[in-house]
Structure formats: C-alpha cells, structure tokens
Amino acid sequence: MQLTAFQTVIMILAVAFGTMLTRFPPFLLFPEDKEPPVIVKYLGRVLPPAMMGLLVVYCFKSVSFITFPFGASELIGVAVIIMLHSWKRNVLLSIAGGTVVYMILVQMIFK
Amino acid sequence: MKKAFLSAFPHTVPVLTGFLITGIAYGVLMQTKGYGVFWSCLMSAIAFCGSMQFVAVSLLTAAFAPLQAFLLSLMVNARHLFYGLSMLEKYKGMGKLRFFLIYVLCDETFSIVSSTEPPEDVSPKAFYFAISFLDYCYWLLGTLCGGLIGRFIPFDTKGLDFVLTALFVVLFLEQRQKNGNRTAGIIGLACTALSLFLFGADNFVIPAMILILISLLAGRKKLCS
C-alpha cells in the first residue's frame, strides 16, 4: 500500500463519485413524473442496440490485428457465437460455445 | 420476489462466470500492490465500475491524486450516460429501488435489462432488481475470492474472461432481431470501430459516443419509419 488508509478512502470515493456522475444525470434531468422530450424518447429507443455495438467493439480494443495471430482467436470465437446463435438461438449455448472455443484457441493453439 | 430471482438467474449466468473471473483477477492484482481483501472489496462495493477499478489500481500505487481519479473515472465511464437515457422508460415507477438500480447500472446489467423482457408472471420491477442485485453480488463475490484465495486457483482460466465479450455479442445479435434496431446496431458498431481506428485504444469511447449520437440524430427520420 503506497497511500495511507485515509488517502485510500478518499481515492475510492473520488472514483465512485466520478462513476455516479455518469450514471445518475439522465435520471435527474428527466424525472419520471415528467414526460421527457420526444428526442430523448427516440434516443432511449435506438441507443440500446447502438451501445451494444459499442460494447462489442470495446471488447476488441486491445486486440492487435496487424501482429500474429491477427486476432484469430477472437474472430473465430465470434464466428462460432454467430453460427451457434443463428442455428439454435439459445443465449447461454452461444455464449458457452464461443467461450470454450476461444479458451481452447488461446490455451493450446495461438499461445 | 423469489420467482423474480429464479427467472432472472439464468440470464445472469454469463455475468456470474465473467465477474467471478475478472473479480478474482482484480482482487489478486490489488493484493500484489499491497491492498488486501478489505480494500479491494471496499472499492468494488462503493465504486462498482469494473474496468475503471483496474485503471484505479495504477492510481492507488502513485502519488495521492484524487482529482485525477475523479476526472479519469468520469471519462472512462462516460458511456453510462447513454445507458441512463436508454433506461428512463424501463426504470419508471421503481420507487425506493430506483436509487439502487441506477447506482449499479453497469455494462452487463444494462445489456441484459435492455434486451430482456421479464416473464409475464413476474413484475418488471422485481425482475430488473434481481438482475441488478445478482450482478452486483457476483462482482463483490469475485473480488472477495480474489483477495482471499485467488492465488491458489489450480485450473487454467486463461480466456474465460471472453465470456463477457460473448455475452455482448449475443445480446447485440438479440437486439438486432427487434424491429428497427438493425440500423442502430450497425451505427454503433461502425462509429465505434471508426473511432477506435482514428483515436486509438485509450481515447476512443467519448468520440465514439459523439459519432453515435450525431448519426442517430441525423438518421432519425429513417430510423423512425
């Protein structure tokens, strides 16, 4: 531990406060007893799929596609998920299948 | 309430796996920097912000800089702003639970709640609470295990954290099934990829959010029809 106990508590609160300033404002700006503007309602409807797109890319941010193995494990993992999901459309099966294949690839093949 | 937890649990199994693994990794990392299980659990319980907690480890091992920690956590977590906008409708009428639901609205909980409808015989309120509460507990549990026994885990878990990527990919595919969502999903994917390419892995999230916002607003007429 480099910081004192008191300093650590302050750091934890600082991180928590920053985080909560990203989670609470929309709910404070548009309280539930008032109808939000049409544009906000529209965003509330289209943002979820767009943010899922963001999260998928977010997971790939540290993958290098220009050095060996060119993100092969990740790409194959995702391909397996897409195939399983269009075949059975079972959320847990697709997730488990993709993860197992990915683990085999990173542990045994592209070490 | 019991029914809500039973019906919510299967949806959270991937998060259970992912949070245990990442939580353990976090607990172990904190341990190696001299922060014992008490500190890692305190951070997980109060800040509850996955990736930012990993960033904060480096701040805890440098000179005392709370303002920097605050600003960094604002930037790293900026994406939550859009989760809030998306949940305005679903989190209506939650009463006293609302504060908790907002407090713990992380990537994983957002993905599940925004793409899953509660079963007909379970109240949405109890269902969303169950998902949020379970995910919160998993993260704490992972951190606790990491701080206590993390170094003694025998089997090779390398790659198991891919379970969270898999969760996002599958829920992305699920969201696409809904009417009118296909284009919005592509917009999210394309804007973020472009932003990652332009700004690099450390600074791409906020530009990506701005690009997404502009594209969604510009395409409003098309996306509404």
Residue B50: closest CA among A61, A19, A63, A102: A19
What DSSP designation does B152 have? G
Judge whether B99 and A28 are in contact, CB under 8 Å: no
Question: In sequence order, which ranges of A24-65 are alpha helices (DSSP H)?
Answer: 25-29, 38-59
Distance from C-alpha of B109 to C-alpha of B14, rounded to nearest angstrom: 11
Closest CB from B69, B102, B166 relative to A99: B166
What pLDDT is stored for residue B167 in this prediction?
92
**Chain A hits for B124, Cβ within 8 Å:** none
Q: Is the dihedral of CA B113, B50, B149, B100 positive or negative?
A: negative
As given in the structure block, the two tokens for residue B148 are: 């206590």
What DSSP designation does B106 have? -
Contact A90/B at CB under 8 A: no
Q: How far is B60 from chain A (nearest CA, A)?
A: 7
What pLDDT is stored for residue A68 in this prediction?
83
What pLDDT is stored for residue B156 in this prediction?
72
**Chain A hits for B107, Cβ within 8 Å:** 55
All residues at 6 or more sequence positions from A94 whose CB lies less than 8 Å from its CB, including other chains: A81, A84, A85, A88, B166, B170, B173
As given in the structure block, the two tokens for residue B4 are: 């809500």
Report the half-sphere exposure of A109 (CA within 13 A, side-chain side): 12
Instruction: Tell me the angle at which helices B2-32 and B107-115 cross, rounded to the nearest 10 degrees.
Output: 160
**Phi, then psi, of B33 in degrees rounded to 5:** -95, 10
Q: Which residues of B115-133 are buried (b: 16+ CB within 10 A; e: fewer)?
A: bbebeeebebbbbbbbbbb
Whole-complex ipTM: 0.92
What pLDDT is stored for residue B168 in this prediction?
94
Domain extents in chain A: 63-111
Distance from C-alpha of B168 to C-alpha of A60, rounded to nearest angstrom: 11
Task: Look at B189 and A56 and tell me if their CB atoms are within 8 Å.
Answer: yes
Distance from C-alpha of A72 to C-alpha of A110, rounded to nearest angstrom: 8
As given in the structure block, the two tokens for residue B197 are: 């390419």
As given in the structure block, the two tokens for residue A36 are: 């939000």
Determine which helix (DSSP H) or strand (DSSP E) holds B86, and give its type and residue range: helix B80-87
Judge whether A16 and B47 are in contact, CB under 8 Å: yes
Q: How far is B51 from chain A (nearest CA, A)?
A: 11
**Phi, then psi, of B178 in degrees rounded to 5:** -70, 150
pLDDT tens, chain A, 111 aa long: 789 999 999 999 999 999 999 999 999 999 988 889 999 999 999 999 999 999 999 999 988 888 888 899 999 999 999 999 999 999 899 999 999 999 999 999 887
Distances (CA, A) of B204 to A74, B70, B76, B197, B214: 20, 19, 10, 8, 16
Distance from C-alpha of B225 to C-alpha of B220, rounded to nearest angstrom: 9
Tell me the one-letter amino acid at B216: L
Output the pTM of the full model: 0.90
* Ramachandran sector of residue B34 (left: φ over 0; alpha: ψ -120 to 50; beta: rest): left
As given in the structure block, the two tokens for residue B83 are: 């989760």
Task: Look at B170 and A94 and tell me if their CB atoms are within 8 Å.
Answer: yes
Looking up tokens 């502009």 gives B214
As given in the structure block, the two tokens for residue A9 are: 């508590």
Distance from C-alpha of B55 to C-alpha of B36, rounded to nearest angstrom: 17
The span from the first CA to the last CA of chain A, in angstroms, equals: 34
Q: What parts of chain B have a pLDDT lower than 50?
A: none
Nearest residue in chain A measured CA to CA from B50: A19
What pLDDT is stored for residue B152 in this prediction?
76
